[in-house]
Amino acid sequence: MPTNKKNAQVTPSAERRRELLDTAAEVFAAQGYNATTVRKIADAAGMLAGSLYYHFDSKESMLDEILSTFLGELWAGYDAVLAAGLGPRETIEALVTESFREIDRHRAAVAIYQKEARTLSAQPRFHYLSDSQVKFEKAWLGTLERGVAAQVFRRDLDIRLTYRFVRDTVWVAASWYRPGGQHSPEEIARQYLSMVLDGIAVRP
């Protein structure tokens, strides 16, 4: 009988590794990358600093895995949306919804990305952060431009300003969102989209 590859990968060691990465992500998000030491991460994980090196060779390796995992999942979702052949409005709705799902899965990683990406991207190991930002911008601007051309969005729309507003409005939610709260990621996305696409004023 063939081995279930997914189950085979979930070993006690792999599970502990994920737990340590989750802990490290919370510490990085709260204290900042430069202010965080391996000892602080180990203290938060309830272990000796030396024991942490059994799993990771440096805090840089931990941060790399946290951010690359988050972005890998984000782009798997985004690429699926962009390949689905949706209309401009539906694409924006799907991208926003996928963004909130990623905040739900990787809230701490999103917070780290928001604070640290600009500085980290100057380092060769983290250059993929710049590549991702360029790809991200292209996806959103292209969708907005497509919507204006199709007269789905207003002709007088400032595309770049709109992109920045939607981007910042969505991702800043990582600063207050907590998984398991009153509203699901999909419900929050629906409320955000209602305000962004339809406004908050009562229509005459």
Instruction: Find the mean pLDDT for residues 102-124.
Output: 94
DSSP string covering the chain: ----HHHHH--HHHHHHHHHHHHHHHHHHHH-TTT--HHHHHHHHTS-HHHHTTT-S-HHHHHHHHHHHHHHHHHHHHHHHHTTT--HHHHHHHHHHHHHHHHHH-HHHHHHHHHHHHHHTTSGGGTHHHHHHHHHHHHHHHHHHHHHHTTSS-TT--HHHHHHHHHHHHHGGGGT--TTSSS-HHHHHHHHHHHHHH-SSPP-
Whether pTM > 0.85 for this model: the answer is yes
> What span, in angstroms and rounded, lies between the C-alpha atoms of 175 and 110?
9
Query: Which pLDDT score, from 0 to 100, does residue 6 have?
Result: 43
Query: Which pLDDT score, from 0 to 100, does residue 2 have?
Result: 40
The per-residue pLDDT for range 88-111, each reduced to its tens digit, is 999 999 999 999 999 999 999 999
Nearest one of 120, 116, 140, 138 to 128, comparing CA atoms: 120
Better-scored residue on pLDDT, 42 or 54: 42
